[in-house]
Chains A and B, each alone.
Chain A
Amino acid sequence: MFTAGAESLIKQAREIQDEDLQKFYTRVSKLLHGKDFGNETVDSLQRLYLIVSATKYSRALPEDVLQLLQDLLCSSKTAEQFQALSCAILRETFPCDLRNLSDEEGNSKTMSHVAEVTLAQGSNKDKVSSVAHRVLKCLEARQPEGQSSRYLLPVLSKVISLSPDSLTEDQINLVSRKLVDWLRYASIQQGVQLSSGGFFTSPRTRQPGPITEVDGAVAADFFTVLSLGQSYTEDQWMNMHAFSMIRKWLLCYSTDGNGNGDTDDKSEVDGSVMSMVSATSTSSRLLPPKERLREKAFEYCHRLIEQSDRKALKKSDAELQKACLIEAVTVMDIICREDPSFVYRAFACVKALYGRLSGDLAFSRALLPIAQFYLNHSETAAVDSEAVYRQLFTRIPSELFQEPMLAFEFTQFCRVNVKVLRESVGIFKHSFPNLFKPLAWNSPALISEYVELLPSLIGPDTAIEILHSLLDLPCLTAALDIQLRSASSQPSERVPLDPSVKVSSSMEAFRHPYYRGMFLYILRDEAGTGDTIDRLSVLHEVLADMADSPRIVQCAQTTPILLQVFFNEAAQFADEKLINQLVLVILERSSLLYDIPNYKREVQRVFSSQLLVLCKLHPSLIVEQCKELMEFSGTTGNIQSKENFYTHVVWAIGEYLSVSYDKRCTVEQITAFFETLEAVLFEITQVRLSASIPTYSPRVITMLLTTLSKLASRSQDLIPRVSLFLSKMRSFARSPAVSSWYSEEDIEEIHTRASELINLLKLPSVAQFVLAPSTEGTSPRWHRDTNTSLPLAMRAISKVLQRDSSFSPG
């Protein structure tokens, strides 16, 4: 589609030399001066457009060319092609000194082009106001033959969204009146077809018939955008344009002070319960223009909702019906927000609509504005909205997660309304397993939405289950994929398998009774049936054949981000009990993860940093979880599979296992940990003759050494043992076998660390100070007290260490 030819054209346009450019300008100028505009002129203007638009730096056109283009733009006799080209070129060359573009009065098409160029020069208030005034003048004036006002409404719409204040109160009322006319009183006869003078035209065939509905029936009531005709009259075009901008208009010019007081509200609302649509419409002639417009817009929306029930003959009309439903409900919502007296009438309509649509998944996108309406107004009208929310949070995410547009809109709905949903909609908080389904399916598109949405889903009672669900998000992706493929497969392939059959693929596992329960758990709709399942590792194994599927890999790449968000949020409110639970989950799941390349490593990285955060929040957790931590740190296999995480755990033990953090810390505990870690260190530093190169980094060794020394400094009976070990480590570092394992610097590092620790442990009180500083170390007293001040201590220590650096081993 895009070729070398096109590529070089862009390059040429960007790199055209000044000389050539000036020649080209002269040529254009000559062509435009001429009377007839032929193919050559078109060609040159097209190239001129490319030249000015291909580069991001503005090109200054010469004065005469600019003037010629402006004249071309403003003249009503110019052919459309030239008007379009000159408009485009002028737009691209801003800023340029546009002399007041004069426009011929009444020519709306030209006016529209001129407005475009003016507004492209920047949307400051003066420009916008001047455009607004010209548009309104044009609208008020009678259009000459062949001209249509329909080009003006889009300009007006743009103007009010850029600067609503640019219209005066009178102008607003004027436009409101016109909008009422166009919306409600457009003709219901078809327009006269502008035939190009056919051979067989006779008065009979040219007789316009009535407008029809989308299903072919004759129009039942006034004209709307869902009315069909062979050709349309001017006011029918205005009807379509008016509806296209009505939402914007109502939002810009909501009347203030309507139903503000509570008591006024109630009386208005009660009164309208009795009123019927037709009764209000006849009396509405007495209403001021804005209120009348609101009334008519409401009627229009009501009619659209009725019209959407018809079965459209053309597919594009069916799509339009859905779009109209969404717009109609949204506009009703806006009207009800401005004037609560409409709420009862609106609810009658919206409730009936919901009843019609709720079973039909094809109309799911229309369910969102309906739900929004319920959220905004169900309290006012005392209407029960449980069913709507249930449909929204159970059916849509679980059955339509693969629709990208619906998933996005659904997520937006949740994100925008999350506060209200969390507080007043019970089902929302516990439907997070369902809410994760669109995310699992389409992570790259939705991740930024969920980063904002996730914190509001996390609460003390749901945190653990959410954590497990997040860790298994790629499994959810896999399960959803299998579910979809299974649904579209042959019925014979969906039969449950015999329990004795061994499965060879994840698809088969989906049908196998042994695995079925696990899949059902992963695909559950609601929370509360358990934080996780026992045989998770079995599930991970059976899904292994999907681990390199692109969708799952994409999900695995986004999950660590969500984990980070989770922990940030959980840290804000977690109490001690929850922190302990989180640490247990971290320890347990660090090895229990779906085996996708890089996934384990990234998750473990998050775990490492978050473990330290949790320890800082609640240091006693080391003591409270000492059994699990000991088991974890004593398993040498953990070093191979998750070295980084292991190092962090060991550091945390060394840092926080002390009486100063938790009074319950006993000497036995310290000794027990010491022995565990000592055993591990011993094992990994065995110099075996036939040993293969170890797969762990020297950092593990130094971390273990430091931690052992820290523990020893707190229970000083252990000091002789650790000193012995340290000197063994020094000789270990110097042994010839080890020098082939590690680099020179690493060996030096191990050796230095061991030496420093030995020297430090020779002075137990200093060692205690350095290796296990009390938590009061940050208080100012440490700096002021001459005996215990930190700078003094540091000077002492560095002297100690430097003096003994040349100490010979032995």
Chain B
Amino acid sequence: MVHSFLIHTLCPGSAGSASVCRVLYSRAFYSEPLVQLPAGLVPGAERLLQKEQVAVVARQVKSACTLSRQAAGKHSPESCPPPSDEAAAVQEADCGMFRLGAGEPFQGEKTVLWLGVLSLGFSLVCEPHENLLLAESSLRTLTQHCLDHLRLLGPPGTDVLLKADRIEALLDRFLPHGQLLFANHRFIHSLDKELAASMAK
């Protein structure tokens, strides 16, 4: 069961402050059941907690990705030639995994998988004993679709912020309620067709 999916910035893009890591989209598939917040907090406290947790994950992914790129000797994304298409972008993306201990910041232990495509990061926060290979391929599929439907590789736009319904449709099909699916290429093809049909309407 996947806990959440996020899209966030990775490194200083052509705009924005250098050190701020912006979460562009986040979706939590469930809230941890045992979180007992102290009584007397403002009503929005649980949501605030969730947003803060997501921000922590995004920042950690950002530093993990930066260190990984540094170690591999890769240059900053601006100076790299843009990838030819979405599939190539996902192929060439940096990837990694790390563990978040209990309390840091989620109540239970979690494993974070991330993909870094140029200056955007796509992360999945999973339960510890998840099928991580399946999670990785699901993340790659999701990322490729996001790049495609949100036109993230073309000239810069604001689709990722405004076309959230597309990301929702994607997640509903490929990661329904956070469930990782053992979908072979024919199942994926069927899902793609359904997705295309719904987006065309």
Contacts and interface: CB of A to CB of B under 8 A. Distances in A.
Interface in B52-111: 52, 55, 63-64, 67-68, 70-73, 95-99, 101
A409 to B, nearest CB: 6
A136 interface: no
B47 A56 contact: yes
B1 to A, nearest CB: 5
B156 A444 contact: no
B95 A405 contact: yes
A324 B182 contact: yes
Given A158-B178, A163-B33, A327-B131, A445 B64 contact: yes
B1 A316 contact: no
B201 A6 contact: no
B133 A365 contact: yes
A442 B65 CA distance: 12
A482 interface: no
B183 A225 contact: yes
A326 interface: yes
Contact of A244 (B70, B120, B181): B181
A124 B33 contact: yes
A1 B182 contact: no
B134 A120 contact: no
Contact of B186 (A80, A228, A404): A228
A49 interface: yes
Interface string B158-201: 10111111001100100011111111111110100000001101
Interface residues of B, number: 78
A57 B163 contact: no
A335 B150 CA distance: 43
Contacts of B180: 244
Nearest to B55: A56
A445 B201 contact: no
B161 A50 contact: yes
A226 B185 CA distance: 9
A554 B70 contact: yes
Interface in A210-233: 214, 225-232
Interface string A302-341: 0000000000001011011011101100100000000000
A84 B168 contact: yes
Contact of A319 (B118, B137, B153, B165): B137
A478 to B, nearest CB: 13
Given A154-B178, A240-B183, A449-B99, A1 B71 contact: no
Contacts of B31: 119-120, 122-123
Could you say which of B16, B28, B32 has the most chain A C-beta atoms within 10 Å of its C-beta? B16
Could you say which of B101, B158, B186 has the most chain A C-beta atoms within 10 Å of its C-beta? B186
Given A56-B51, A448-B101, A2 B163 contact: no
B33 A123 contact: yes
Contacts, number: 243
Interface residues of A, number: 92
What is the predominant secondary structure among interface residues of chain A facing chain B? helix
A151 B162 contact: no
A3 interface: yes
A53 interface: yes
B1 A157 contact: yes
A230 B186 contact: yes
Contact of A46 (B98, B133, B156, B162): B162
Given A444-B64, A445-B64, A320 B15 contact: no
A427 interface: no
A155 B177 CA distance: 6
Contact of A320 (B132, B161, B182, B198): B182
Nearest to B154: A1
A501 interface: no
Given A57-B48, A154-B177, A231-B190, A550 B70 contact: yes
B38 interface: no
Interface in A1-36: 1-7, 9-10
A242 to B, nearest CB: 10
A232 B101 contact: no
B22 interface: yes
B201 A58 contact: no
A449 to B, nearest CB: 7
Could you say which of A1, A240, A412, A449 has the most chain B C-beta atoms within 10 Å of its C-beta? A1
B168 A323 contact: no
A249 to B, nearest CB: 12
A85 B165 contact: yes
A163 B32 CA distance: 11
Contacts of A412: 99
Given A1-B119, A7-B16, A230-B186, A158 B132 contact: no
Interface in A29-71: 42, 45-47, 49-50, 53-54, 56-58
Interface in B1-31: 1, 9, 13-16, 22, 24, 26, 28-31
Contact of A95 (B32, B46, B172): B46
Contact of B15 (A4, A46, A322, A449): A4
A785 to B, nearest CB: 50
Contacts of A119: 30-31
Interface in A117-133: 119-120, 122-125, 128
Contacts of B161: 6, 9-10, 50, 54
A741 interface: no
Given A49-B164, A158-B30, A3 B68 contact: no
Interface in A523-554: 549-551, 554
Given A95-B44, A444-B64, A1 B187 contact: no
A93 B183 CA distance: 33
Contacts of A112: 176-177
Given A324-B182, A408-B97, A151 B165 contact: no
Contacts of A549: 73
Contacts of B98: 408, 445, 448
Contacts of B183: 225, 240, 320
Contacts of A591: none
Nearest to B100: A448
Given A58-B44, A412-B99, A4 B16 contact: yes
Contacts of A324: 182
A408 B113 CA distance: 11
A232 B184 CA distance: 12
B52 to A, nearest CB: 7
Nearest to A248: B1
B169 A84 contact: yes
A2 B15 CA distance: 7
B187 A232 contact: yes
28 contacts: A1-B156, A2-B119, A6-B24, A6-B156, A10-B161, A47-B162, A49-B165, A56-B55, A57-B48, A58-B44, A84-B169, A87-B168, A112-B177, A119-B31, A120-B28, A123-B31, A161-B1, A162-B30, A319-B137, A323-B137, A405-B136, A409-B132, A444-B63, A444-B67, A445-B64, A448-B99, A549-B73, A551-B71
Interface of B: 1, 9, 13-16, 22, 24, 26, 28-33, 43-44, 46-48, 51-52, 55, 63-64, 67-68, 70-73, 95-99, 101, 113, 118-120, 131-134, 136-137, 152-153, 156-158, 160-165, 168-169, 172, 176-188, 190, 198-199, 201
Given A163-B33, A214-B184, A240-B187, 15 more contacts: A2-B16, A4-B14, A6-B160, A10-B161, A81-B198, A123-B30, A123-B33, A125-B33, A158-B177, A225-B184, A244-B180, A323-B131, A323-B182, A404-B68, A404-B96
Interface of A: 1-7, 9-10, 42, 45-47, 49-50, 53-54, 56-58, 79-81, 84-85, 87-88, 92, 94-95, 112, 115-116, 119-120, 122-125, 128, 151, 153-155, 157-158, 161-163, 214, 225-232, 237, 240-241, 243-245, 247-248, 314, 316-317, 319-320, 322-324, 326-327, 330, 365, 404-405, 408-409, 412, 442, 444-445, 448-449, 549-551, 554
The 8 A-B residue pairs whose C-beta atoms are closest, nearest first, are A58-B44, A4-B15, A56-B51, A154-B177, A154-B179, A3-B156, A551-B71, A123-B33
